[in-house]
Amino acid sequence: MNLISVENISKSYTEKQILNQINLGISESDKLGLIGINGTGKSTLIKIIAGVEEVDEGRIIKGNAVKIEYLSQNPDFDPEAVVLEQIFKGNSTVMKIIQAYERALKDPASSDEKILKLSHDMDIANAWGIESEAKSILSKLGITDHHAKVGTLSGGQRKRIALAAALIHPSDVLILDEPTNHLDNEAIDWLERYLNNRKGALIMITHDRYFLDRVVNQIIELDQGSLYAYKGNYSSFLEKKAERMESEAASGKKRQSLFKKELAWIRKGAKARTTKQKARIDRFEVLSESNVDNNKEKMDISVASSRLGRKIVEIENISKAFGDNQIICDFTYLVLRDDRVGIIGPNGSGKSTLINIISGKLLPDTGTVQVGETVRMGVFSQETYHMDDRMRVMEYIKEGAEYVTTATGDKISASQMLERFLFPDDLQWTPIGKLSGGEKRRLHLLRILIEAPNVLILDEPTNDIDIETLTILEEYLEEFPGAVIAISHDRYFLDKMAEKIFVFEGKGKIVQYTGNYTQLRESHDKKQNEDQVKQNESKDQAVKEKRENRKEKDKPLKFSFKEQKEYEEIDGIVAEIENKIQETEVEISNVSANYVALQELMAKKEQLEKQLEEKMERWVYLNELAEKLAEQSSI
């Protein structure tokens, strides 16, 4: 069933055309991954589909009953709202009921009758499941304080709250712009499973190639205003795009050959006096318009680096704490010339703190960091707030270098370097503030590299960077003749780049592993399985020993004084607990509309059932012992 139809839409900003006659159909089984170079209009396209932006031409056809939920790359927040209030924002009936219920619970002046009525409304709207799911999703995304004010949280935490809100609002079409940004690896694994199990259409922009491989069933690529669709996941897309480019190259050569012949004929000055001659001129014009540019500029970042001496960076016994929160505890490491280190761990565990100490932006509480004299450190930060939005692109780059020496020894100008980094002439004198988030990060990356560093420190280099730029960056790092230390949640990037992994395990502990991310996970999973087997074997042995002890016949069997008393009272105790459980069940059926009382009674019943289970185990043991004593006395 087709939920949304995109028909011949076009969109321009000033003189730049972003979308040109785009067509797309979205059905309920589609899981679409939207990719393309930053600045090509990916976010614009999904904003149009979500109804946030208008088109210049064309139309979006959507059924009245089709519900769309949209996660923006930069969501809006009410700084005074608490987390749950932000999650349940929305105009749907069920969201309004949940909002009213949450407000009533917080308000000391709310009467029992009001809460009872709202509980009844929650029952009718089937809202309890949504509230429970929201709290579960928040926990999975690392948000545990559900009553914290949104304004007090970090940008990453706010983005995760917005993601949770998008996931719990019922929708037919879920649209996500960079959902994996600010998520750690465990949260990304969970989100993969969630989206795979979710029913309904999905459209998302993401640079996470493993995520695309495991979640989507169609890739749509936005390239120079046009849209290309590929059935299958990211791996399938790579194969099919290679085939398309080969086909275009072959047909392009044929067109170029024919174009040259037609051009030669036109230049001979043939007059369009006959129908045949007029047809040839028309044909020439068509060929001119359809001629394929097979020499499309590819990004090249073959920038030279400076000489690196023997001493790189020596980190010795460093520790760092913020108040009572121990971030790093007694960490030592010697950075080697060709190191490729990936850093992973939960958000807020201290990863950025470590690289800030290494780069000299932050001092450790104890320990030392010594940097070699020949080290030229290039630090790529997670944020771009340090960039002056009023400065023009060219001015920002020229601050770093007027000319750049490439790895091959050639000298090129800042303008040529910008072109290689996919900043054409019309963008080079644009104020930085007018660039997209991804374009700003690409520009920031270029600025770092043109200064010829020999040690690279990268803090989340994959956030908001398009896949083509990532691929080129990965190729550059393979040839980079210096050390690279990178924080990243991008598993694909870590697998390609890293040869060592530092894992922040909490309470200041940093564990070093040799290998890339997948090798680390495989090693971790193997150890978990081995530990589980050992735990099961230990339990089996304990049970076996217990049974053997009970079967022991060498010692004379007898009740202790305490056991004798317990044996005489156990039947009455069991019966009393069973009666209490029955009474509690009656109370539960009588207060089904009172959510607060219901929760208390359910907890009471659970506790009673646990007591009953324990007493029944004792009842079995004591009665078995009594039977054996009876047999023993009859012999």
Please check the confidence at residue 590 and state whether its pLDDT lies above 80.
no
The residue extents of the domains of the chain are 1-67+171-232, 79-153, 239-290, 313-515, 558-634
Question: Hey, how many other C-beta atoms are within 10 angstroms of the C-beta on 219?
Answer: 23
Q: Which of 24-28, 294-298, 520-524 has the lowest mean pLDDT?
A: 294-298
CA atoms within 13 A on the CB side of 583: 8
Question: For 282-323, what is each residue's pLDDT tens digit?
Answer: 555 555 555 444 445 455 566 666 678 889 999 999 999 998
The pair of structure tokens assigned to 23 is 């067509």
457: enclosing H helix or E strand: strand 455-459
Outline where DSSP puts E strands in 63-208: 68-71, 173-177, 201-205
The CATH code belonging to domain 1-67+171-232 is: 3.40.50.300
Average pLDDT over residues 147-159: 83
The CATH class of 558-634 is mainly alpha
Phi and psi at residue 499, in whole multiples of 5°?
-120, -10
Q: Which of 94-103, 159-168, 523-532 has the lowest mean pLDDT?
A: 523-532
Q: What would the DSSP string read from start to end of 591-615?
A: TTT-HHHHHHHHHHHHHHHHHHHHH
Distance CA 324, CA 317 (A): 19
Distance CA 172, CA 66 (A): 6
State residue 269's pLDDT score. Answer: 53
Q: Which CATH superfamily does the domain covering 313-515 fall into?
A: P-loop containing nucleotide triphosphate hydrolases (3.40.50.300)
Sort residue 79 into left (φ over 0), alpha (ψ -120 to 50) or beta. alpha
State residue 295's pLDDT score. Answer: 45
Identify the CA nearest to 224 among candidates 14, 59, 37: 37
- Asked if the domains at 1-67+171-232 and 313-515 fall in one CATH topology, the answer is yes
Outline where DSSP puts E strands in 140-217: 173-177, 201-205
Give this prediction's pTM.
0.68
Question: For 325-366, what is each residue's pLDDT tens digit?
Answer: 999 999 999 999 999 999 999 888 899 999 999 999 999 999
Q: Torsion over CA of 379, 382, 388 and 393, rounded to 10 degrees?
A: 70
State residue 211's pLDDT score. Answer: 92
Please state, rounded to an integer, the average pLDDT across all residues of the chain. 83
Amino acid at 192: E
Residue 413's pLDDT band, with cuts at 50, 70 and 90, is: confident
Identify the CA nearest to 384 among candidates 431, 428, 444, 436: 444
Q: What would the DSSP string read from start to end of 20-60?
A: EEEEEEEETT-EEEEE--TTSSHHHHHHHHHTSS--SEEEE
Q: Which of 66-75, 170-179, 323-332, 433-442 has the lowest mean pLDDT?
A: 433-442
